[in-house]
Structure 1
Amino acid sequence: MNKINWGVLGFARIAKNEGMPAILEAESARLYAVASRSEEKLAEAKELFHPEKLHNSYEDLLEDKGVEAVYIPLPNALHREWAIKAMEAGKHVLCEKPLAMNEAEAREMVEASRKHKVLFMEAFMYRYTERTKKTAEILQSGVLGEIRHVDSTFRFFLDREGTIKMKPELGGGALYDVGCYPVNFATMVFQEEPVKVSVAATMQNQVDVQISALLEYADGKTASLHAGFNAFGKNYSEIIGTRGRLEIPDSFLDNEGIMILYTDQGKEEIHVPACHRYTLEVEDFSSAILESRDPMLTLEESMQNARILDRIFEAI
């Protein structure tokens, strides 16, 4: 079958551990080129992944006519600049979450994708997991009744020295890094924007290391969303409706596990198999290019997420 030639801008940790292995594994993708300003990182990328081309600047990769799609794993503060440059060069773009530093940047990026007629998607890989698919099926079935509350948490203990996650100038902080997942999850469930946002946050060196947001929606619906770098890890969500409750351990992961559904009929354990979330994401995006269709996540949803993130930051 046809394969899309991928270029990767920067040999970042997420690219090394997840993005590039996913491109290699996806049937409709080919790891064609990698760009890094570090000769050491280029040598490591060549040894580990054997891309066809190595470029010592991002500009050179974007000028490479063999590159059809670009994966952007760069620090959050660089997403807007390089996504737009890639789209101006006629490349389709899969950009790591969060899409941008704010709604204004996200709008510029979306407008560029439309102007240059290229596909553009925010890389929320958890949306491709069997766990998320089963959650969507349960929501659509109506077994939970009218949804009244969502609780979602993504946190871990950050102990890496010099990490970009703690640098405000690069878009660091728990909300950008992992809090955007609960925000996206709540948006997926409610499919509307909150009418009120309240926040409690712990700041360290101008970066949020712990944050909790209460989102209030129309008709009294609520979502409590939590993220952090400063305590033991937790990855968990719960959806509560008028007729049932769904517990989702490891909400944003792709491991095998059990979700638990509670209704008047009792307790039901729902098995979810393991999958490769990043590979499924790359497969969908590559296939969307080949089939001239939109990928799973819409730009409208990403714009909505950006607006909610802005409102949470404003409430700190």
Structure 2
Amino acid sequence: MNKIRWGILGYARIAKNEAIPAIEESESSMLYAVASRSEEKLEEARKLYTPCMLYSSYEDLIEDEDIDAVYIPLPNSMHKEWAIKAMEKGKHVLCEKPMALNEEEVKEMLEASEKYGVILMEAVMYRYTHRIAIVNEILRSGVLGDIRHVDSTFRFFLDRENTIKMKPELGGGALYDVGCYPLNFITMVMKEEPIKVSAFAKFENGVDVQVSGLLQYEDGRTASLHSGFNAFGKNCSEIIGTNGRLEVPDTFLDNDGVMKLYTKDGVEEITVPWCHRYTLEFNDFSEAIQEKRKPMYSLEDSLLMSRIMDRLLREIRK
């Protein structure tokens, strides 16, 4: 099959460092165009990646009939607008997480996907790693027994100046930026919406820089999430069941490593091989277009995530 021709709507750090290299590595994708409102960034893209087309406006890129799919790494506040505009032009859309600022915006994006007959997916790249595949295998095996608690953390120290992560008008904040990952992991394990949510946050300049939440599910099951960019980095999760406990270091990365499974029989170390999460994500999305199927990460999951995020945001903004 012909490779899917990608347009990059915004030459952001994640596009430059992760998405574009993944597209060039993918056997089912090709970099066709980059749009940026910065001439300096366009010149950098030209030198580093030699796309076929460069556009100084987002409108011109989505008007290009040769583009099959658009990747959106724009600030969170711009996701809905440009995803819908791209879908109106018949483009398939891979949109960076969070899909949008709230559940209503996500619903509008889903409706546009159905109306224009294109694929829309939230770019939750860690779901494609070997690490998460092994976690799901362990969950399906039943070796942990009944799941009673999940704990997940993703935080880092933000030391960049003038970053969109610290601008409330652009959808900045720790929960949107890194907190959505622990919440996503918890939702993957629990597979349903909690019956009760509580949360605490520390704010600086109108932006949450640290967020902790507690989720309560049916039958007394619980989950806790921690996120932030005001302290030293941490990236790990733990799943505790009636018969065992699984430690998942580097939960959201694609490096190699070791997970530990604790049961009555002792401790088993499980080797995790390296992979390129972004390449696997673009492979799946491009092949979904070619094969006229749904990609691995579902819109139903994105909708559930946005609904729980709304509840957490209401708690921390009280």
TM-score class, shorter = over 0.9
> Which residue does the alignment assign to 2:85?
85
Identity of aligned residues (%): 70
Cα distance in 1 for residues equivalent to 2:50 and 2:142 = 48
Cα distance in 2 for residues equivalent to 1:206 and 1:215 = 25
> Which residue does the alignment assign to 1:52?
52
Tell me which stretches of 4 or more aligned residues in structure 1 moved more than 6 Å: none
How many residue pairs end up in the alignment?
316
> Which residue does the alignment assign to 1:247?
247
Q: TM-score, normalised by structure 2?
A: 0.99
> Which residue does the alignment assign to 2:120?
120
Matches within 5 A, 1:251-266: 251-266=251-266
Cα distance in 1 for residues equivalent to 2:178 and 2:2 = 34
Cα distance in 2 for residues equivalent to 1:107 and 1:279 = 27
> Which residue does the alignment assign to 1:156?
156
TM superposition shift of 1:83: 0.3
Matches within 5 A, 1:127-166: 127-166=127-166
> Which residue does the alignment assign to 2:228?
228
> Which residue does the alignment assign to 1:29?
29
> Which residue does the alignment assign to 1:169?
169
Q: TM-score, normalised by structure 1?
A: 0.99
TM superposition shift of 1:41: 0.6
Cα distance in 2 for residues equivalent to 1:161 and 1:263 = 46
> Which residue does the alignment assign to 2:198?
198
TM superposition shift of 1:200: 1.1
> Which residue does the alignment assign to 1:70?
70
Q: Deviations over 1:147-191 (max 9, x none)?
A: 010000000000000000000000000000000001111110010
Cα distance in 2 for residues equivalent to 1:39 and 1:204 = 32
SS at match of 2:148: strand
Cα distance in 1 for residues equivalent to 2:125 and 2:248 = 16
Cα distance in 2 for residues equivalent to 1:176 and 1:81 = 17
Q: Note the residue ranges of structure 2 that are not aligned, 5 or more in a row.
A: none
TM superposition shift of 1:2: 1.9
2:81 aligned partner, one-letter code: E
Cα distance in 1 for residues equivalent to 2:94 and 2:283 = 12
Cα distance in 2 for residues equivalent to 1:166 and 1:106 = 23
Cα distance in 2 for residues equivalent to 1:158 and 1:82 = 27
Q: Note the residue ranges of structure 1 that are not aligned, 5 or more in a row.
A: none
> Which residue does the alignment assign to 1:11?
11
Give the alignment's Cα RMSD to 1 decimal: 0.5
TM superposition shift of 1:12: 0.4
Cα distance in 2 for residues equivalent to 1:233 and 1:173 = 16
TM superposition shift of 1:37: 1.1
SS at match of 1:74: coil
SS at match of 1:156: strand
> Which residue does the alignment assign to 1:105?
105
Cα distance in 2 for residues equivalent to 1:17 and 1:107 = 30
